[in-house]
Amino acid sequence: MYILGDIGNTVTKVFLVSINNKITKKLTFASKDINQTKLEKLFIDLKIDYKKINKILFCSVVPKSFILIKKFLSKKTKIKCYEVKNLDLKSLIKIKANYKQVGSDRLTNAISLTNNQNNFIILDFGTATTFDVLIKNTYSGGIIAPGVKLSLNSLSDKATLIPKIDLKKIKNIIGNDTISAVRSGFFWGYAGLIDNIIYLIKKETRKSFKVIITGGFSDLFKKSIKTKVYHNKDITINGLIKISKLIK
């Protein structure tokens, strides 16, 4: 059995995966809950038989949280806990960007799709809204825009008269009250941002791409933009499974 995980700024996901790559259990919790006391309680839900674990791999954009989970798991098993960028990824992907500054989650997503035939743009609605450009088996870099939820919360925190708002699809452009005006600004604003960035990537590279979307707001935008997209909610775990084969 493998323990595979994705430690994000907002949410952490931990998967128990069989040796034939089947997800048997999944645990999701807020990344802010990662501490030695809470981890014990959180991992109980996975009911892990640590004697059967032979690989542990995480992608993480929060180094302190990875260290805490690694320390916790070291008390449960002698199996080494790896972070994606601890491994030599050269056999899986070529990287043209600054390796030290590319998040391991973004590399994991890219590795999930590499097939040496197709070009992909991976649009991930996380704490940040990221666009990653994969040309065949080469990660060429990407774009980082403010996250939808983070931006919404920031606006309501800084503007006294704007309440907390849940983003929903809205038909009208012109809002007739504060809530509908904000929803329109964020919904149509991000839809325009997405389409424009994808257009500019295609223009700059002079290539065609399959656009894959994932993350929290992917359901909201998948049918609301001009660009044809493919929804893949399992892209990160599939990438982790692929990368885990590097661990001997």
How far is Cα of residue 122 from the mean position of the Cα atoms in its chain?
10
pLDDT band at 208 (very low <50, low <70, confident <90, very high): very high
Q: What's residue 152's pLDDT?
A: 81
Q: What's residue 170's pLDDT?
A: 83
Cβ atoms of 53 and 19 within 8 Å: the answer is: no
Q: Which amino acids are annotated catalytic? A: 105
Cβ atoms of 184 and 173 within 8 Å: the answer is: yes
How much is the average pLDDT of 88-105? Answer: 93
**158: exposed, middle or buried (Cβ count in 10 Å: 0-12, 13-18, 19+):** exposed
Give the DSSP letter string of 135-204. ETTEEEEEEEEE-HHHHHHHHHHH-TT---------S-SS-SSHHHHHHHHHHHHHHHHHHHHHHHHHHH
pLDDT band at 97 (very low <50, low <70, confident <90, very high): very high
pLDDT band at 221 (very low <50, low <70, confident <90, very high): confident
Q: What's residue 13's pLDDT?
A: 94
pLDDT band at 92 (very low <50, low <70, confident <90, very high): very high
Q: What's residue 80's pLDDT?
A: 95
**CA–CA distance, 136 with 118 (Å, rounded to integer):** 5
Q: What's residue 22's pLDDT?
A: 92
**Domains (ranges, CATH) in the chain?**
2-86 (3.30.420.40), 94-238 (3.30.420.40)
Nearest to 194 by CA among 171, 173, 218, 175: 218
**Average confidence score pLDDT of the chain:** 91
Does the pLDDT value for residue 102 go beyond 80? yes
**CA–CA distance, 244 with 248 (Å, rounded to integer):** 9
**CA–CA distance, 34 with 22 (Å, rounded to integer):** 26
Give the DSSP letter string of 94-142. EE-S-GGGS-HHHHHHHHHH--SS-EEEEEEESSEEEEEEEETTEEEEE
pTM (2 d.p.): 0.89
H or E, element range at 239: helix 235-244
pLDDT digits (tens, 9 = 90+) for 145-189: 988 888 888 877 777 667 787 888 888 889 888 888 888 888 899
Amino acid identity at 241: I
Does the pLDDT value for residue 136 go beyond 70? yes
Q: What's residue 83's pLDDT?
A: 97
pLDDT band at 215 (very low <50, low <70, confident <90, very high): confident
Q: What's residue 161's pLDDT?
A: 67
